[in-house]
Amino acid sequence: MQITEETLTTEQKILQAARKLFIQKGLTGTRMDDIAKEAGINKALLHYYFRSKEKLFELVFEEESKHFLGKILDAIESDKSLFEKIAQLVEIDTEHYLHNSCGASVPMFVFYEMARDPELAARQMRFKTGLTRRIMDVFGQQIKIEIEKGTIRPIDPSDLFINIMGLVLMPFMAKPMLQIMHDWDEETFRQIAEKRKKEITEFIINAIKV
């Protein structure tokens, strides 16, 4: 059965609308009325389903930040060589943000809200220490082995991790500026992001391989 607007429960419609608007406009830039309108209902029903704006926001943020880290872990936990794993990390993340943009970037949303509200950052990361530690452990271990084998130059795993994230995410975070700078329409942007998958992977591998 196809999922149309009608088949969604009101709760799902609200969550979908909230997600879209929070990612696009942020917590403080989004009105409860806007979410209601986007979901095709009114404000009171919003509070019937979700007690408060903060509660609704926290749900959306929790989901997105977990998803963000989850995607990374998926790629890193796979049983592959380092180079294949990097290719997969680039592929999975790019693909995810290419088809999940809401007209704005999820990583931007996550980082921005964390910067705006350190309490939120601390609270949310507290429940993700398992995820993050696992990411760094698995990745760090594999890097260490490759360095010892002499297949790649010595590099701090967290540095390499930041580098990969930077290369993958930058086009999505800087999208509005890049689009205007280079006069890219949506389709052109998509093509460039698509093409970057291969190019970034090679860029990274060239950068680290001996």
Q: Which residues pair with 209 in a beta bridge?
A: 152
List 51, 127, 162, 194, residue binding its own copies (CB under 8 A) = 162
List 43, 67, 134, 196, residue binding its own copies (CB under 8 A) = 196
The interface partner of residue 180, options being DNA, its own copies, none and the CB cut-off 5 to 8 Å by kind, is its own copies
The upper half-sphere exposure of residue 114, i.e. CA atoms within 13 Å in the direction of its Cβ, equals 16
The interface partner of residue 32, options being DNA, its own copies, none and the CB cut-off 5 to 8 Å by kind, is DNA
Which of 163, 197, 210 shows the shortest CA–CA distance to 90? Answer: 197
**How near is the Cβ of 36 to DNA at its closest, in Å?**
8
**How near is the Cβ of 180 to its own copies at its closest, in Å?**
4
Q: Which two tokens stand for residue 82?
A: 């380092």
Residue pair 90/163 in contact by the 8 Å Cβ criterion: no
Residue pair 49/28 in contact by the 8 Å Cβ criterion: no
**How near is the Cβ of 143 to its own copies at its closest, in Å?**
14
Contacts of 44 (CB under 8 A, 6+ apart): none
* Interface contacts to DNA, rule CB under 7 A: 10, 30-33, 41-45, 47-48, 51-54
The interface partner of residue 44, options being its own copies, DNA, none and the CB cut-off 5 to 8 Å by kind, is DNA
- Three-state secondary structure call for residue 135: helix
The upper half-sphere exposure of residue 95, i.e. CA atoms within 13 Å in the direction of its Cβ, equals 10
Q: Lay out the site mask for its own copies across 78-107 (x = CB under 8 A, - = otherwise).
A: -------------------------xxx-x
Residue 166: exposure state from Cβ atoms within 10 A (0-12, 13-18, ≥19): exposed
Binding residues for its own copies (CB under 8 A): 24-29, 103-105, 107-108, 110-112, 114-116, 118, 121-122, 125, 132, 136, 153, 155-156, 158-159, 162-163, 165-171, 173-178, 180-182, 196, 199-200, 203-204, 206-208
